């Protein structure tokens, strides 16, 4: 399995930026009724805001009763050391439990399988440590949401178009917005679009990109390179549930407020199966090993 400490460090670094990207998806969809209207709001933009408000209400309601699943994850990222990992992932109240199944399209050797089973056995022997690491992920996500919750002020919405049951809405920096922190300045420079499932009124896809370099403190505090981007796709899994099926992240640069921002990840999630919400870690391990 390689050096376990290195794998854990890579995982924690990857989580930080992934959480921020996920939080941006939420931030762009927060209620917009309180957004300051420094610029004139076009009818198109006003309609887009109403659509986003409805979508948010549905996302908020769905977040109150998230149901757990097991699924397959195909990922190439900094966490995987650039290899293509096929993992079985099982969601539990304590966190997401993973078991590596294949690397670069090849089944694991007996030694690798034994190492994976040993890692899962260590989790069962010390569930508190596993839960603590998972809580760190949740805390990172909460912090990112707190940071980004007010950022709809930073964007204007236009380019609304309907295509086959989906509404596409573009966003770009609001020139009348003044970022109050370094993090806001980076996010404020992004442009992108979101896609809303108009039948379910849920967020289907969001993507953002940085069209130009952003430097803070003459580049000493942060330099995020032009072309940095992220994209997330969520698809229906039954009704009303949506699950993330595709995640792409390609961020280049450095920033003191992000512990590690040179993050690249491509992950595809599939074969979702519902599992009990009160699943124990031992039961989750049994499912992961199936």
In terms of residue numbers, what domain contains 239?
Answer: 4-288
Angle value at C-alpha 61, between 234 and 140, nearest 5 degrees:
65
Give mean pLDDT, residues 165-177: 91
pLDDT for the residue 39: 52
The total number of structural domains that make up the chain: 1
Tell me: the pLDDT tens digits for 185-220?
Answer: 777 888 999 999 999 999 999 999 999 988 877 666
Question: Is the pTM here over 0.85, yes or no?
Answer: no
The C-alpha atoms of residue 71 and residue 68 are separated, in whole angstroms, by 10
Burial 215-240 (b: 16+ CB within 10 A, else e): ebeeeeebbbbeebbbbbbbbebeee
| Model confidence band, residue 42 (pLDDT cutoffs 50, 70, 90) | confident
Instruction: Write out the two tokens for 38.
Output: 């420094």
| Model confidence band, residue 139 (pLDDT cutoffs 50, 70, 90) | low
The C-alpha atoms of residue 254 and residue 233 are separated, in whole angstroms, by 26
Which residue did the predictor score with more confidence, 43 or 101?
Answer: 101
The H-assigned helical ranges of 28-42 are none
Lowest-confidence segment of 113-117, 206-210, 255-259 by average pLDDT: 255-259
Q: Answer whether 20's CB lies under 8 Å from 14's CB.
A: no
Give mean pLDDT, residues 76-81: 92
The C-alpha atoms of residue 145 and residue 63 are separated, in whole angstroms, by 14
The C-alpha atoms of residue 248 and residue 237 are separated, in whole angstroms, by 20
């Amino acid at each position: 399995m390689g050096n376990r400490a290195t794998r854990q460090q890579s995982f924690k670094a990857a989580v930080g930026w992934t959480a921020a990207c996920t939080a941006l998806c939420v931030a762009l969809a927060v209620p917009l009724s309180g957004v300051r209207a420094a610029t004139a709001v076009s009818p198109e933009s006003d309609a887009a805001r109403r659509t986003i408000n409805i979508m948010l209400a549905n996302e908020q309601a769905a977040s109150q009763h998230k149901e757990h699943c097991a699924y397959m994850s195909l990922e190439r990222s900094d966490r995987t050391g650039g290899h293509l990992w096929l993992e079985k992932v099982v969601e539990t109240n304590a966190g997401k439990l993973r078991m590596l199944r294949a690397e670069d399209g090849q089944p694991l050797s007996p030694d690798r399988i034994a190492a994976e089973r040993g890692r899962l056995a260590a989790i069962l022997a010390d569930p508190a440590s596993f839960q603590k690491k998972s809580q760190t992920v949740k805390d990172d996500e909460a912090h990112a949401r707190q940071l980004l919750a007010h950022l709809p002020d930073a964007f204007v919405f236009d380019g609304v178009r309907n295509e086959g049951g989906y509404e596409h809405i573009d966003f770009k920096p609001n020139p009348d917005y003044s970022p109050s922190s370094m993090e806001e300045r980076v996010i404020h420079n992004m442009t992108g679009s979101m896609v809303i499932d108009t039948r379910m009124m849920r967020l289907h896809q969001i993507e953002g990109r940085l069209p130009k370099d952003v430097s803070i403190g003459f580049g000493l505090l942060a330099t995020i390179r032009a072309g940095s981007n992220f994209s997330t796709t969520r698809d229906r899994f039954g009704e009303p549930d949506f699950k993330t099926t595709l995640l792409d992240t390609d961020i280049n640069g450095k920033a003191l407020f992000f512990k590690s921002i040179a993050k690249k990840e491509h992950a595809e999630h599939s074969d979702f199966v519902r599992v009990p919400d009160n699943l124990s870690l031992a039961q989750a391990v049994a499912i992961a090993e199936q």
